[in-house]
Structure 1
Amino acid sequence: MNRKVILTCALTGAGDTTGKSDFVPVTPEQIASDAIAAARAGASVVHIHVRNITTGQGSRDVGLYREVVRLVAESDVDPVINLTAGMGGDLVLDPNEPTTQLPGTDLVSGIDRLPHVEELRPEICTIDCGSLNFGEGSQVYVSTPDMLREGAARIQQLGVKPEMEIFDTGHLWFANIMVAEGLIDPPPLYQLCMGIPYGAPADAGLLQAMVNMLPDGAQWTSFAIGRNQMPWVAQSVLLGGHVRVGLEDNLYLSKGVKATNAQLTERAVGIIEDLGSSVATPDEARDILAIERKVSAE
C-alpha cells in the first residue's frame, strides 16, 4: 500500500465544544496557530471554521476568515486551505408550532453561505450535499437540491475545488448527480462523514458500500467522530481513501486525555505510515486534487 494519503486537520468546527476542552481554538490567532502547528505535524490540508470571539459559537464573519487565512499565509508553512461553506444552514423549529423558528436558527441561501469564499478564493471549500436531522431535538440542517446546484455553480465559477460533504447515502446519490451534470470539475472530491446523528453510522460495511457508489476517478476522504476517529484513519487508508482528524470531530487523544490538533495529526501520521503509506505534502495534495496553489490573501 505504497501511496500518498492526504491528511486533513479540521481545527475547530462550529459545535458547542469550547466548554468541553480548553484546546479548542476560538480566536483567529488561536485557529491560525493550530493550523500552523497541524501543518508542521504533517497535515496536508487545514479545514477552517471561525467562531465568534465573545460567545465561542460558530460564525460566518468574513473578517474572521480573512484574518485566519492571512496569519497562515504569513507563516513558514503552506497547507492547502479548506474553508467551510456550511454555515447558514441551521433551522431550529418549535415542535409544537413548526412554522416558528427558535433561537439557534441561522438559515440563509446557498449563495449567501459563500461571501468568504467569494473574497478569499481558497483552494477548497465544502458543500454539504443534503439536508439532515441534526441530532436530538428539533434542529435540521437545510441544504436543498436547488441550493446545492446554485452553490456548486458559483463555486465552480470562482475556481475553487468543492469538497462534497456526504452525511448519508442520499447525499452521495445527489453528489453523483451534480458530478454527472458537470457542476463539479474533475476529479470530484468526496468527504464521507460518519457517525454524526442522524446521518450515516460509523460502520465499516457502510463505508465500503459508499465507496462502491463513487464514480470512476473520484478522490475521497472519510472521518468518524469521537472515539472512532483514529480507527477511521485506518479504515479509510485500507479502502484506498484519504483521511481527516482534528478537534472538530474528536476532543480526545485517549480515554480521559484531551488532545490538541497537532497531537491528533501526529497520531494520524503514525497510523498512515504504519499501514505502509505516506502523508502527502501540501503540493502533492494539490497535484492529486488537480488544484492550483492560490496567491495568499492580503
Structure 2
Amino acid sequence: MREQESVRTKTGKRKVIITCAVTGSVHTPSMSEYLPVTPAQIAEQAIEAARAGAAVLHLHARHPDDGRPTPDPAVFDRFVPRIAAETDAIINITTGGSAGMTLEERLAYPLKARPELCSLNMGSMNFSFHRAGRGIKEWKHAWEKPHVEGSENLIFRNTFSDIRSVLSSLGDAHGTRFEFECYDVGHLYNLAHFVEEGLVKGPLFLQCVLGILGGLSADPENLHLMRSTADRLFGRENYEFSVLGAGRHQMPLVTMGAIMGGHVRVGLEDSLFLGRGLLATSCSAQVLKIRRILEELSLEIASPAEAREILQTKGAGKVGFDG
C-alpha cells in the first residue's frame, strides 16, 4: 500500500479514479433518448467518457434491436475491442449482467475477454427499480414495462457458492481484479469472509452502491457507516473505495465520497440526469461535471496508468480482446 500512496500523492494531491458505467441493465430506452443501447452508441459514449477523464469504463451489453440487456459475447465483441483500440481506459466487464440471467450467462463474456477488472455483487438481494417507470405513458418496446414493473418481485442471486465460482474462474485463473459492489453493510461482511478464507487478496476495490431499493438508502449517514465498517473489517490502508449514488443522489453522494477519501462512479447506468429535471445527453457530460467538481476541490484525476497502479491490475496487454 505504500507504493500506492506514492502514486496517489506524487504531485502533492490525492488521485481520484473516475469510473463511468455506460449503460447497465436497469434503465430502458423509453426513459431517455440518450441512453446508449446499440454497440455503436455504447462504444461512442464510452470513448467520449474516457476522453473526458474516466480511467475505468464499466460495461454491459444490450440487444441492438430493442435495447434489452443481453449476455451474448457476440454483442460485447461489437463494441469492446473498439473501445480498447481507441482508449487507454481500464475496461471493466460486468459479472452482474441482469437479474434474469443465469450465472453461466453472466460469466460468458468475462471468461472469454479475461479483462483487467470485473464487477462482482457481494450477495443476493431484493433489487427493485419498479418506481423508475412511474410517469412513462408510452413504452417504445414491449419488453420494457414488464422488465421495470416486474422488478418489484425480483431477487438478484449471488450466493456464496456463486461468488466463490467467480473468484476462482476469473480471479485465480485469469488474474482479473474485482470492483466489489456492496449494496449493504452485510455485503462488506460477505467480502470479509472471502478475505478470511484467503480467496481474495488486496488491494480491495470496494464500490459502495447506495440508493437501490433493496439495499441501503443514499443517506450520508449510510456512507459513513459503510466507510467505518470497511475500516474495521479491512483496515483503511488495505482497500480503495468508490461511491455510486443511484438516480438523483449521484452527484451529491459521489462528491461526498471523494471528500471522504474515495473514488467516484458516474454514468447513465446509475443516473439518467445531469441535474434536477435535466437529462444527461451523454455519459461524458456526467464525467465532465464530476471532474470539474473534483478539481475545484483541489483533487487530482487519476489517469488510466495511475488507476492501474493504484488497483494493481494485470495490464491491458493480458486481456482476451483485441485493442
Report the TM-score when normalising by structure 2.
0.83
Q: 1:219: which partner in 2?
A: 240
Cα-to-partner distance string for 1:185-213 (whole Å, 9 max, x where unaligned): 31011111000002011011111111112
Asked if the contact 1:29–1:71 (Cα under 8 Å) also holds between the matched residues in 2, the reply is no
Alignment of 1:187-202 (within 5 A): 187-202=203-218
Give the structure 2 partner of residue 294 of structure 1.
316
Gaps of 5+ in 1: 91-105
Partner of 1:50: 61
RMSD: 1.5
Shift of the 206–256 alpha-carbon distance from structure 1 to 2, 3 Å rule, reads closer
1:18 corresponds in structure 2 to: 29
Give the fraction of aligned pairs with identical amino acids, expressed as a percent.
36
Which amino acid in structure 2 is aligned with residue 198 of structure 1?
A: G
How many angstroms apart in 1 are the aligned matches of 2:261 and 2:180? 18
Distance 2:79 2:200 in 1: 27
- The answer to whether residue 292 in structure 2 is matched with residue 251 in structure 1 is no
Residue by residue over 1:247-270, the C-alpha shift from the partner in whole angstroms, topping out at 9 and shown as x without a partner, is 001111122221110100000101
> Which structure 2 residue ranges, 5 or more long, are not aligned?
1-11, 131-151
SS at match of 2:79: helix
1:115-134 superposed matches below 5 A: 115-134=108-127
- The runs of at least 4 consecutive aligned structure 1 residues that moved more than 4 Å come to none
Q: Is the helix fraction higher in 1 or 2?
A: 2
Q: Report the Cα distance in structure 2 between the residues aligned to 1:256 and 1:176, rounded to whole angstroms.
A: 39
Q: TM-score, normalised by structure 1?
A: 0.90
In the aligned structure 1, how far is the partner of 2:268 from the partner of 2:179? 19
Aligned length: 280
Render the CA deviation track for 1:138-163: whole Å, top value 9, x for unaligned.
Answer: 11111111111121122212110111
CA–CA separation in structure 2 for the residues paired with 1:196 and 1:130: 14
Tell me how far 1:113 sits from its aligned partner: 2.3
User: How far, CA to CA, are the matches of 2:314 and 2:175 in structure 1?
Assistant: 9
Match of 1:171 among 187, 203, 207: 187
Which residue pairs with 1:150 in the alignment? 165
Partner residue of 1:69 out of 46, 64, 80: 80
CA distance change for structure 1 residues 179 and 112 in 2, over 3 Å: closer, same or farther? Answer: farther
Does structure 2 retain, via aligned residues, the 8 Å contact 1:167–1:192?
yes
Task: Name the residue aligned to 2:296.
Answer: 274
Alignment counterpart, residue 285 of structure 1, candidates 307, 314, 322: 307
